[in-house]
Amino acid sequence: MSTLTDLNQPNSSNAVETAAQPSNLDPKKAVFSLEEIQQLLPHRYPFSLVDRIIEYVPGERAIGLKNVTFNEPHFQGHFPGRPMMPGVLIVEAMAQVGGIVLTQLPDVDGSLFVFAGIDKVRFRRPVVPGDQLVMTVELLCVKRRRFGKMQARAEVDGQRVAQGELMFSLVD
């Protein structure tokens, strides 16, 4: 399987497979560190919203973590005295976890996936500094290797905070 990491790092033909699947893990589960996520996704501060991938099943799903801290720039104005993570950033964080699944599909060859649509998104409770956002994104379908649809949900302490369908399009 060709990976974005393979394209960015010559002479490391299986860097993701080796780093993401240590021998002590189930081969269908994998872990990606922040450094490995940054090799796969183009996002950088302040829009890098995934700290770690704790589970990854190729072509199916990924579970990612975002540690929400008071030091993040959006909390200065959203809202003074009652900081809450903006819903659009929760959706973006879920999409970045989905991006991990999409960038690892065969024959993607380092192309960029962007939002094509967002459906049925609902927010259930606020996300505040100190929370750990756990995002699960499952690939529903891929059409013509150009469009993807995913089901996403975000939880804090086992309580659902957001859910919805995310659509992606491949940009050449």
Question: What was the pLDDT predicted at 146?
Answer: 85
Residue ranges of E strands in the chain? 52-57, 61-67, 112-123, 132-143, 147-156, 159-171
Among candidate residues 115, 101, 113, 100, the one with its CA nearest the CA of residue 172: 113
Question: What was the pLDDT predicted at 172?
Answer: 73
Question: What was the pLDDT predicted at 11?
Answer: 35
pLDDT in tens, 116-133: 999 999 999 999 999 999
Q: Is position 78 annotated as part of the catalytic site?
A: yes
DSSP 8-state assignment for residue 32: B
> Phi-psi category of 43—alpha, beta or left, where left has phi over 0 and alpha has psi -120 to 50?
beta
Query: Is the domain 4-171 a CATH 2.40.40.20 member?
Result: no
Question: What was the pLDDT predicted at 51?
Answer: 97
Mean pLDDT of 42-69: 96
The whole-angstrom separation of Cα 116 and Cα 108 is 17
Mean pLDDT of 42-50: 96
- What is the value of pTM for the model shown? 0.82
Average pLDDT value for the chain: 85
Which of the residues 43, 52, 78, 146 is marked catalytic? 78
Question: What was the pLDDT predicted at 145?
Answer: 76
Banded model confidence at residue 106, pLDDT cuts 50, 70, 90: confident
Residue carrying structure tokens 């065969």: 106
Domain boundaries, the chain: 4-171
Is the pLDDT score of 168 beyond 60? yes
Mean pLDDT of 27-39: 81
Banded model confidence at residue 26, pLDDT cuts 50, 70, 90: low
